[in-house]
Amino acid sequence: MADTNDIIELNVGGVHYTTTLKTLTSDKNSLLNEYFTDIKKKGIKDSKGRYFLDRDGVLFRYILDYLRDKQLNLPEGFREKVRLRMEAEHFQLIGMIESMKELSEIRPTGCITIGYRGSFQFGKDGLADVKFRKLSRILVCGRVALCREVFGDTLNESRDPDHGGPDRYTSRFFLKHCFIEQAFDMLNDCGFKLSGSCGSGTAGSAAELKPGVDSEENRWNHYNEFVFIRE
């Protein structure tokens, strides 16, 4: 067995790391300890001589952090908890798995507001032929970290680039889909409950329509907001 102070160069899924053998073998019950204790027999190297692990290279940084400090420190608004837990389970890091369970039970309180502007699509027979509800966009307002926790990859932040960190508030996020019930399900899954709602009446506007806008659909334009709270 090599000296525990040996420097180890790693290639984890294409991402390169430098650490020590002591760090990699610090959890004696883990798969990493088993692998690197007998590295000369089991090790696979890439073309640069780095030991290769076919796992998620980006998430491996949190694996190394845990092995160094024996505690889990994730950034607020971290979106990859499910995938990170899968990595921890693969490497058989029992302490890290338990820490993730405890972390998931401590959820910050807060408020998220969902808004949408919608109408209805009508057929040739007008009101007698309503085909389906039309939503142009679902807006999301609230603290950035909470919005990211709930909506993850379905959240579109393109109109509000992150310059102030996860603790700031925003009213410019929206969802990448237009399924209001999916948004409600995601909020419910994260422990948010509906606190209040409001809506406007239909437009009935006499203003000149934009090209391509159906007059009947325009008459039924409306806006609704829903306030969700997690206590």
Residue-level pLDDT at 130 = 63
Can you name the CATH fold of 7-105?
A: Potassium Channel Kv1.1; Chain A (3.30.710)
The pLDDT of residue 231 is: 87
Burial class (CB in 10 A: 0-12, 13-18, 19+), 79: middle
Write out pLDDT tens, residues 8-49: 999 999 999 999 999 999 999 999 999 888 766 667 899 999
State yes or no: pLDDT of 205 exceeds 60. no
35, containing H or E segment: helix 31-37
Q: What is the mean pLDDT of the chain?
A: 86
Encode pLDDT of 212-229 as tens digits.
656 767 777 889 999 999
All CATH 3.30.710.10 domain ranges in the chain, comma separated: 7-105
What does the pLDDT average to over 112-141? 80
User: What's the CA gap between 115 and 201, in Å, rounded?
Assistant: 14
Q: What is the mean pLDDT of residues 87-103?
A: 92
pTM to 2 decimals?
0.55
